[in-house]
Every structure is written in C-alpha cells, then in structure tokens.
Amino acid sequence: MAFSMDNSAVARYFAALNGIDRDAYLACFSEDALVLDPYGGRPLSGIPGLHKFMDGMERTWTSFQMTPDEPYAAGDRVAIAWRCTAIAKSGKTASFAGINVFTLTPDGLISQLEGYWDFRAMVAQIS
C-alpha cells in the first residue's frame, strides 16, 4: 500500500510540533521510538526521550511553524523536506530547513526519526 500523508502519524507529527502539543506529539510514536533530531546529536529513546524533546520545544519556542514538502516513501521509511519559521521566547525569529526520515511500524506509528538540519545555525539566529 502506498504511503499517504492523510491522517498519518507523520502528518500528525508536523501538526503536533506546530501546536507545540506534547500529547499529540507522543501519540505519533511507538513506545520504544528512537529520535535522532538533529542526526548526530544525542539520541532520545522511548517515552522519556520524547518528553525530553518536548521539554526543549516548550522551553524554547512561543510559535513554531514547520511546513512539510511532499513525502517520498520506500518500504517502511518516508523522507520529507521541510521549512520552519519559529519565534523563540527571546522574541527572535529563526528560519531554517531540513529533511526528516521517518521509519514507521506496521501499524503506522513512528519508530525512528532522523532529522537532518543545522542545529547550530538555528541557535545562532535566536541567541
């Protein structure tokens, strides 16, 4: 079956981040999910890792708008380029872009997320 963004965990993931909605974010992932966002940083594992990610979102942003491009699916993986504009609690705005690669469970939840984007460049915009 072909991947469809309609009501998928991937679509709900983007909506959850845009709403900075912890419960909606957690609902997108399997309980043992691995988040590498950004890739190369410290891996976040399972429900505690997902909470840690959202702690950072809530601590950093007052507004967050991540807009996905079209998905490219192969097997259990989906890659999506995206652009983001966000307002930090400092009042400064960051604009950045990247690519996320999602691995999905057979029931459609996200079991792994790899985010490829420049964390340092984003932080420099809001510091």
% of the chain surpassing 70 pLDDT: 98
Q: CATH number of the domain that 49 lies in?
A: 3.10.450.50
Q: Using 50, 70 and 90 to split pLDDT, how confident is the model at 66? A: very high
Residue 41 belongs to some domain of the structure: yes
In whole angstroms, give the CA distance from residue 64 to residue 40: 23
What are the pLDDT digits (tens) for 39-51?
A: 999 999 999 999 9
% of the chain surpassing 90 pLDDT: 94
pLDDT above 90: residue 78: yes
Residue 1 belongs to some domain of the structure: no
Residue 4 belongs to some domain of the structure: no
Residue 52 belongs to some domain of the structure: yes
Torsion of CA 61, 52, 118, 93, to 10 degrees: 0
Q: Which domain holds residue 77?
A: 9-126
Residue 2 belongs to some domain of the structure: no
